[in-house]
Amino acid sequence: MKDSRNVVRLDSRTLMHGEVKQSGGDPSTLFEILEGIVARKDWEILVDDSGLPVGSFRRFLEAPLPVGCGVKADKILALLQVEHRYEQDQDYAARMAKLRDDVQRLLALESPPLNDNGVNQYSGSDTSDPESRESPISKKGGTSRVYIIARLKRDAPDIAELVINKEISAAEGKRRLDARLKKPQPKTINLNIDDEGELVEILLENLDRKALQNLIKQLSDKL
């Protein structure tokens, strides 16, 4: 006899797929299905075609049925911007706030794997166009936590890790990245030490008066 708990979890993929495919309507039921998936960590329990656990939340969402829900993560993020029908209630508001935070955090932990043609290997969607890689949240101005973490993972993985682990806020992570990018980079010039005349000309072209005086002083001290 099959484990009834596993049957329920298996059904969560089909239920999730069906709810997302419905045109319009109230997504409140979808939120409750998603809340259960996150709470149970279904991706660590349900298996794929190889008999191994699905392994990640993003894959659980994006992989086609029966492995996953067959739903793009960006679609889920967009739906989560809608209020639950009972969100005016304090308890539901707290649950939805936690669900939104959990989903963004889980998705930020893993970027979708792309093949050589820029296609998402989970969902099969083409992400070669930069516009298609942006989530509905990131298109709102690039200040959401998901957008900032995605940028940090690309440009400053060390800072991204701090934000994901909640050691610093996303805003602080963005500030640190901006400061790092604004830091002037050392200038590199090629010197031909076999031609003294050319060497002098290059130094005069690339160093200001103060730098030249400092260089002369250091050379004098070494002689």
Task: Indicate yes or no: pTM above 0.75.
Answer: no
Q: Reduced to 3 states, what is the DSSP secondary structure of residue 53?
A: strand
* Percentage of residues in the chain having pLDDT higher than 90: 28
Q: What is the pLDDT of residue 187?
A: 66
Regarding predicted confidence, which is higher, 191 or 46? 46
Q: Model confidence over 114-161: pLDDT tens digits?
A: 444 444 555 555 444 443 444 433 343 455 677 788 788 888 888 988
Q: Reduced to 3 states, what is the DSSP secondary structure of residue 156?
A: coil
Characterize 73-103 residue by residue with b for buried, 16 or more Cβ atoms within 10 angstroms of its Cβ, and e for exposed.
bbebbebbeeebeebeeeebeebbeebeeeb
Q: Angle 202-206-207 (CA atoms, 0-180°, nearest 5)?
A: 110
Q: What is the pLDDT of residue 150?
A: 76
Q: What is the pLDDT of residue 161?
A: 86
Averaged pLDDT for residues 32-60:
92
CA distance linking residue 43 with residue 59, whole number of Å? 8
pLDDT band with cut points at 50, 70 and 90 for residue 24: low
CA–CA distance from 65 to each of 16, 70, 89, 117, 123 (Å)? Answer: 10, 6, 34, 23, 10
Regarding predicted confidence, which is higher, 185 or 176? 176
CA distance linking residue 59 with residue 48, whole number of Å? 10
Q: What is the pLDDT of residue 129?
A: 41
